[in-house]
Amino acid sequence: MPGRATAVANGEELARAVAQLGRELGLESTEQVRVARRIWGAERYIDVVLTQGTTRKTLGLECKFQAVRGTAEEKIPATIKDIEAWPIPGLVVFAGEGFTQNMRSFLISTGKAVEFEELQPWLCLFFGLPLGTPPSLPTPTLFDS
């Protein structure tokens, strides 16, 4: 919907934008889904779970935003590994200017990560949806447009 786009400034907003995109594509969207515990006992949550209503095909999405360079990206390989323990297929959705080019390249090379701006066609292919005109999306930038 034109005029609805707002900037994504943190991981929480990114997760909301991902959930909204799923709904706009006609998918069921659930946020913060508890899926057991990690090896050291901490509860494990999936940021967003999308489900196709008729087939019940599901996808878990871990949302990672980094505004400035820092140590957060050092945790990404562990996140990719953690997704392997989920009971459903999973993907990292990332946004923000703080990811180095090397980390962006690593994420894309895993086949388990996609930049937010490229998520819509990825979801269409995964769920077997038409590759039409993308819905209006929040822009993953640091500042409001």
Instruction: Please report, in angstroms and rounded to a whole number, the separation of the first and last CA atoms in the chain.
Output: 15
Burial class (CB in 10 A: 0-12, 13-18, 19+), 82: middle
Residues with Cβ within 8 Å of 57's Cβ and at least 6 positions away in sequence, in order, are 51, 126, 127
**Residue that the structure tokens 């057991």 belong to:** 36
> How big is the chain, counted in residues?
145
pLDDT in tens, 97-119: 888 888 888 888 888 999 999 99
pTM: 0.79
DSSP one-letter string for 126-145: HHT----SPPP--B-SSS--
Helix axes 101-110, 76-83, angle to 10 degrees: 10
pLDDT in tens, 25-43: 999 999 988 877 666 667 7
DSSP lists the bridge partners of residue 49 as 30, 60
Q: Report the C-alpha gap between 79 and 46 in whole angstroms.
A: 11
Cα-flanking dihedrals φ and ψ of residue 89, to 5°? Answer: -60, 150
pLDDT at residue 49 in the model: 95
Q: Contact, 15 vs 31, CB < 8 A?
A: yes
Q: Strand, coil or helix: what is 58?
A: strand
pLDDT at residue 72 in the model: 65
Check pLDDT > 50 for residue 143: no
Going by CATH, does the domain composed of 11-126 fall within 3.40.1350.10?
A: yes
